Amino acid sequence: MLYALMGLGLSLITGVLNIPNFAHGALFAVGAYFLVTAVNAVGNFWIGLLLAPLGVAVLGLVIEYAGVRRLYAAGHDYQLLFTFGLALILNELIIVIWGPVGISHLPPALLRGGVDLGFTFYPKYRLFVMVAAGLLVLATWLFLEKTRYGAIMRAGIENKEMVSLLGIDIHRLFTVAFAIGAFLAGIAGALTAPIRGLSPGMGVDMLGIAFVVVALGGLGNLLGAIAAGLLIGVAQAVVAAYWTEASTAVIFAVMALVLLIRPQGLFGIR
């Protein structure tokens, strides 16, 4: 579900803004670090979990407004270089602010330890993350499918010129899409922090997986991103149960296999 969350955010940005956001992994890491800072400041995990992604969304607004917006006319090369450079800057800023040494952050007391599910033993916090990420994916999908602004956003993915000609402020749409994408990356990072801990390079692995999800689902296809995130998660879990060492390789094997059969991805049309 976390993969779906990351893929959905990246797919939204890729679809609406038509740029490859290489800073998505760094935003994921910033979300985790914001969580720890917020929890240490307010002393409550749940408030921290709310504040952290909001902070990343604000950061996303600033990035889009001050940087990405100026490069829409410049072409893909510049956008790619900008987001790549931004990822490096954010990574270094994490080291400057929080230090190079990894940090562990505990789940809230209520969700510590594991539960015996009969057929297996599983941590309570991971079960919570599964449910929370599922609800977030559902909420995002409902927003995109059932609200007016969601419809505008989907229309923006299909045909930006037409949306603009209908009198809709396309730049604001871009900014909002980037902020929502950043929010989803931020909350994925915050939810992951107690599971994986925090380290400056934590976004790098997740960025790779997020791009796999986007490519597998079909570039810019939101439903595809959700389906691909689930497919990869399930494939990884199944393989890990029988052949643990191959659990990472299977992510890329699934992508290679699907793209060989459907180069446009599961739900892609381009």
Which parts of this chain interact with other proteins (CB under 8 A)? Answer: 100-107, 112-114, 120-123, 125-126, 194-197, 199, 205, 237, 240-241, 244-245, 247-248
Q: In the complex, what is the shortest distance from the CB of residue 123 to other proteins, in angstroms, rounded to a whole number?
A: 4
- The residue among 167 and 242 lying less far from other proteins, judged by its C-beta, is 242
- The residue among 66 and 244 lying less far from other proteins, judged by its C-beta, is 244
- The residue among 51 and 206 lying less far from other proteins, judged by its C-beta, is 206
- Per the CB < 8 A criterion, the answer to whether 54 and 42 are in contact is no
Site of tokens 């760094």: 26
Q: In the complex, what is the shortest distance from the CB of residue 192 to other proteins, in angstroms, rounded to a whole number?
A: 11
- Residue 95's Cα: distance from chain center in Å? 21
- Copy the structure tokens of residue 19: 């740029």
90: buried, middle or exposed (CB in 10 Å: 19+, 13-18, 0-12)? Answer: buried
- The residue among 194 and 268 lying less far from other proteins, judged by its C-beta, is 194
Q: In the complex, what is the shortest distance from the CB of residue 184 to other proteins, in angstroms, rounded to a whole number?
A: 21
Q: In the complex, what is the shortest distance from the CB of residue 25 to other proteins, in angstroms, rounded to a whole number?
A: 14
- The residue among 105 and 160 lying less far from other proteins, judged by its C-beta, is 105
Q: Rounded to whole angstroms, how far apart are CA atoms 22 and 181?
A: 12
- The residue among 135 and 238 lying less far from other proteins, judged by its C-beta, is 238
- Copy the structure tokens of residue 125: 């916090």
- Per the CB < 8 A criterion, the answer to whether 144 and 222 are in contact is yes
Q: In the complex, what is the shortest distance from the CB of residue 207 to other proteins, in angstroms, rounded to a whole number?
A: 14
- Per the CB < 8 A criterion, the answer to whether 206 and 188 are in contact is yes
Q: Rounded to whole angstroms, how far apart are CA atoms 109 and 114?
A: 12
Enumerate the β-bridge partners of residue 121.
116
- The residue among 81 and 103 lying less far from other proteins, judged by its C-beta, is 103
Q: How many other β-carbons are positioned within 10 Å of the β-carbon of residue 105?
A: 20
Q: In the complex, what is the shortest distance from the CB of residue 145 to other proteins, in angstroms, rounded to a whole number?
A: 32
Q: In the complex, what is the shortest distance from the CB of residue 116 to other proteins, in angstroms, rounded to a whole number?
A: 9
Per-residue DSSP letter, 246: G
**Among 171, 253, 172, 255, CA closest to 214:** 255
